[in-house]
A and B are shown apart, each in its own frame.
Chain A
């Protein structure tokens, strides 16, 4: 039921509805004397097809912002709208469904089940989504093809190199054909050579229409995105776009 609703909303993405809209978002950790404002009154709209870099030092609140946008965490106050749907009013089950269906995740630490095969790791989102055995294997293999690792499908993921692991994670992130990919320091654990490959892959996906949100403190990586949002002490201090995307943007 929910997927149908979201489906309708997603068809209108090309029009005016932002993919993610953040309003008066605040997040406070701890209570009273130990209270810490991780995010303070953040407002933000991200549109279809954008590539957004969220830049800040560690502890600035950039990860918190990403977690809130990705519906992995609940705000203390304010709202996150995904395709126009206010997520704070949704039940846990629907939030899980939204994440599973429309988001893809790439993490700095990869987070793979090392005892499973590469293929098993890639098809996990489809398994959670109750896709049939045969279908999910087929889709996972084509996702592995995108990252050029279909030959490693049956290998144990523990035997892969760091770059290969991150490529598997990208395959996992795209296996459900997501609208948005969240990447948290995707090159943080990689050397520059393999890091570039990962970045190329991500921007290729962005070119094909997937909205890309990268959390990073790496200025070079941030510069590749068409929008840079800087966060200091839980507040947005700047939000810049390169000209080419401003033209595209529909306001």
Chain B
């Protein structure tokens, strides 16, 4: 018998008992549907996390704090609002400052590409140059060359110049009356900041105003700066200097430094930082994001186990279906053998029947999970949707590299399940088979 004829025969045998075949395919469908959808969600979520990680600095990004500051923060969060007995503190807030000396020592550690003091600035207000309406704003400086911000318009900040540059986010478009992100680029804003020391003396006249250019608009993202706007090094220095005018340097408190390090040397750098000054500690992106990733991985692993159990049940269904098919067709097998069909061809015929069950089950699983995936993506991107603000992110992401191996795996499982009945059919004695009632 030609291969094509065997395939045709196998498929017409499946159609002969439509309900039984359908139910078996349904069982396979449930298993493959679960696994395919899961893998697609896994791909989507991981892709999203990867993009977000890149937008906040990538794997080499670190946030450095003096060890004492972390301890104090931990102690504060532990005691919370409870009234506690006085005990001598491990260090005053002053000791938690990053000194220039320590900063230089940390910069000198092998693998540290960049390390800079990080402040969060809270100016009085910001407004578009020439407009009346003032808005609250928080600003921060980040070493932009280690970042890969998702911009919807404009360019990154250039820290190599002395220009006052700022990147706003899309939330500012409406208050500033910009229709599109592009409209905001190259516009000028006015930022007003309190000169802290002067305000003790002349509270009515202690504001300083600086003009800055909007160079870009940041696209929304979950892990980005909580609404803080990014400013250039020069602008940050200027605003910081104005705010702290007349304050002695030893009274300045710097709790954070941010920087970029070689991701492969993170563990060594961590050890060396502990030895500098009173000890420094840092968080990397993977410290923060690793948790989220692990959480998703666990959930998806649980669902994959469900899928695998469903597939196991389906495999038993295939075995059962084929055993019934072999039994029903005993005489037919006897006739085929009497007329000269070889054992192998009979084995092949039943194996192809099993593989077809697996094929259709997984193809339907793929089709339905893609349909649901499309629907879910539309839903989360729609108005009020979970991901309405993240147009570039798909919760469910299908790619041939994910789906095709699963379809092939299911077909392999189906084939393996079919081997037992197929061998039984192939081994039948033609005389006994023909006598079967």
Q: Which residues of A contact B (CB under 8 A)?
A: 67, 70, 72-73, 92-93, 96-101, 105, 107, 109, 111, 113, 115, 124-125, 127-130
Residues of A within 8 A of B337 (CB): 96
Residue of B nearest to A114 (CB): B332
**Does B340 sit within 8 A of A, measured CB to CB?**
yes
CB neighbours (8 Å) of A115 from chain B are 16
Closest beta carbon of chain B to A158's beta carbon, Å:
13
Q: Which of A92, A93, A100, A128 neighbours the largest number of chain B CB atoms within 10 Å of its CB?
A: A128
Q: How many A-B residue pairs have CB under 8 A?
A: 52
Known contacts A111-B335, A115-B16; decide if A100 and B340 are in contact (CB<8 Å). yes
Inter-subunit contact A130/B2 (CB<8 Å): yes
Q: Residues of A contacting B31 with CB < 8 Å?
A: none
Select from chain B the residue with minimum beta-carbon distance to A116. Answer: B12
Q: How far is the CA of A129 from the CA of B342 in the complex (A)?
A: 11
Set of chain A residues within 8 Å of B339, measured between Cβ atoms:
99-100, 105, 124-125, 128
Shortest distance from the beta carbon of B55 to any chain A beta carbon, whole Å: 61
Query: Roughly how many angstroms separate A98 CA and B341 CA in the complex, as a whole number?
Result: 11
Contacts of B338 in A (CB 8 A): 70, 72, 99, 105
Q: How far is the CA of A67 from the CA of B429 in the complex (A)?
A: 12
Instruction: Report the minimal beta-carbon distance from A122 to chain B, rounded to whole angstroms.
Output: 11
- A128 CB contact (under 8 Å) in B341, B343, B429: B341
A-B pairs, 8 with minimum CB distance: A100-B340, A96-B340, A99-B340, A111-B335, A128-B341, A125-B339, A128-B1, A72-B430
Whether B340 contacts A130 by the Cβ 8 Å rule is no
18 contacts between A and B (CB under 8 A): A70-B338, A72-B338, A72-B430, A73-B430, A96-B342, A97-B340, A99-B338, A99-B339, A105-B338, A111-B331, A111-B335, A113-B332, A113-B335, A124-B336, A125-B340, A127-B1, A128-B339, A128-B341
* Extra inter-chain contacts (18) besides given A73-B429, A99-B339, A128-B341, CB under 8 Å: A67-B431, A72-B338, A72-B430, A72-B431, A73-B430, A92-B342, A96-B342, A97-B340, A99-B340, A109-B434, A111-B331, A113-B335, A124-B335, A125-B340, A128-B1, A128-B336, A128-B339, A128-B345
Question: Which chain B residues lie closer than 8 Å to A125 at the CB level?
Answer: 339-340
Residue of B nearest to A184 (CB): B434
Shortest Cβ distance from residue A134 to the other chain B in the assembled complex, whole angstroms: 13
> Using a CB-CB cutoff of 8 Å, which residues 341-358 of chain B contact chain A?
341-343, 345
Q: Is B264 an interface residue (CB 8 A)?
A: no
Nearest chain A CB to B213 CB, angstrom units: 77
* Contact yes or no, A107 B343, CB < 8 A: no
Q: Nearest chain A CB to B324's CB is how many angstroms away? A: 16
Chain A hits for B226, CB < 8 A: none
- Whether the pair A111, B340 counts as a contact (CB closer than 8 A) is no
Distance in angstroms between the alpha carbons of A72 and B335 in the assembled complex: 11
Tell me if A128 and B332 are in contact (CB < 8 A). Answer: no
**When chains A and B are docked, how far (Å) is the Cα of A70 from the Cα of B431?**
11
Please indicate the chain A residues that have their CB under 8 angstroms from the CB of B2 in the complex: 127, 130
The A-contacting residues of B in range 316-344, CB under 8 angstroms, are 331-332, 334-343
